[in-house]
Amino acid sequence: MTDHLLPRPLYRAIALAAWVLSGASVPSAWAQPSPAPAAATGPRVAVPAAAVAPRTADYILAVVNTELVTNNELQARLARIREDAARTNATLPPPAELRKQVLDVLIDERVQVTNARDSGQKVDESELDRAVTNVAIQNQLTMEQLLARLKQQGIAYATFRSNVRDQLLIERVREREVGQRIKISAEEVDAFLDKRRSAAGNGAQLNIAQVLVTVPENAADAEVAARRSRAEAALTRIKNGESFEAVAREVSEDGNRAQGGVIGLRPADRLPDVFVEVVRPLKPGEVSPTLLRSGAGFHVIKLLERREASALSVTQTHARHILLQNDPKRTTEQAVAQLAEFKRRIEASGRGGLRRVDSAGRHGHGRDVESVR
């Protein structure tokens, strides 16, 4: 399998390793004061009393289960951060705050690494070799130049490989945790689509005609009744077959009476909401069966034309995949070859997937998530 098909956590580890080798700017979490990361639950973290006293020899700052965070490791990380800050003129927090933040990051990394190992996550040597090779490629270095750069910065090659392995494990844990927490219900999907359809509907253009019989402000009840009767009479004439345009020219009191009451093609969001609601169930050429009462008076409404906005297109995908579970007896190359064979069989048969296959080669019922041991 080519490098561009490697898992996303590998590229994240490459980016983090490349930051160590390049002249990138100081991460923002250290460039400005920020709260320390929240303490993770699960693994034990012990901070010895010696951690707060200045000492020259290496010593243990924290113990996370069987993982150690040492003073030399902390000082090396601080030195790289300060060098990058000096190179980019970034402002760092006060020394004590910076030390606390970096120590918290190191402890958090150890917590995630131990969680990854406890959950059975592993990075085999071939995958680690590809990650290290890609670090060199990302930095436009040969492997010999990479080793020389590490030596120049005082980083042992074994330590570098260990750091890349840890970053791969950390990213796997993070992606697993995020994936487990993201749950989108069918109701949420439907609500989103309804909202999008509603927004698309508001982009339609409508051509409406009206017969308006105005009602003066503060009109007496008798006058309102008389105006209503006049509008109802106009509606009855139209229902009985008279031309809407002719009735509008005779009865309507709006500025479009000379055009037969035609308002003209306009976007729906530029028309009164009450007009849009009245014509929503109508087909072009139909007249609303009842009068519309507004602040202006009584309206007889006809829908002449509706031009819909571009229809909302939703592509739904039913995904299926074959999962190769971790197996100490199967290398990454063997897993890739087995997946390639599955793909060849699927394409040859023209089917949407394989049925469940166990170690004995037996097939079960088709599933959306395929598993192979």
Q: How many domains does the chain have?
A: 3
HSE-up (13 A, CA, CB side) for residue 65? 15
303 and 332 share one domain: no
pLDDT, tens digit, 9 for 90 and up, residues 139-176 = 888 889 999 988 888 888 988 898 888 888 888 877 77
Which tokens in the block code for residue 342?
């599955």
Can you give the residue range of the structural domain that contains 33? 3-181
The arithmetic mean of pLDDT across residues 268-282, rounded, is 89
Residue 18 domain-assigned (yes or no): yes
Strands 60-64 and 67-70: antiparallel
pLDDT, tens digit, 9 for 90 and up, residues 55-113 = 456 888 888 877 788 888 888 889 888 988 888 888 899 999 999 999 998 888 888 88
289 and 339 share one domain: no
219 and 156 share one domain: no
223 and 269 share one domain: yes
In 117-276, beta strands by DSSP E = 205-214, 262-267
The arithmetic mean of pLDDT across residues 183-206, rounded, is 76
User: Looking at the predicted structure, is the pLDDT value of residue 301 above 50?
Assistant: yes
Band (pLDDT 50/70/90 cuts) for residue 324 is confident
Residue 125 domain-assigned (yes or no): yes
171 and 46 share one domain: yes
Calpha distance 40→43 (Å, rounded): 8
Whole-number average pLDDT of the chain: 76
Cβ-contact 300, 291 below 8 angstroms: yes
Q: Any bridge partners for residue 212, and if so which?
A: 299
The CATH number of the domain holding residue 289 is 3.10.50.40
pLDDT, tens digit, 9 for 90 and up, residues 8-27 = 444 344 444 444 444 333 44
User: Looking at the predicted structure, is the pLDDT value of residue 318 above 80?
Assistant: no
Calpha distance 122→135 (Å, rounded): 20
* Helix residue ranges, H only, 22-94: 28-31, 71-88
Long-range contacts of 345-353 (CB under 8 A, 24+ apart): 352/320, 353/320, 353/322
Whole-number pLDDT of residue 26: 41
Other CB atoms closer than 10 Å to residue 165's CB: what's the count?
20
pLDDT, tens digit, 9 for 90 and up, residues 237-247 = 999 999 999 99
The arithmetic mean of pLDDT across residues 289-301, rounded, is 93
358 and 221 share one domain: no
Residue 143 domain-assigned (yes or no): yes
Give 300: exposed, middle or buried? Use CB within 10 Å, 0-12, 13-18, 19+.
buried
175 and 74 share one domain: yes
Residue 195 domain-assigned (yes or no): no
8 and 55 share one domain: yes
13 and 138 share one domain: yes
Whole-number pLDDT of residue 310: 58
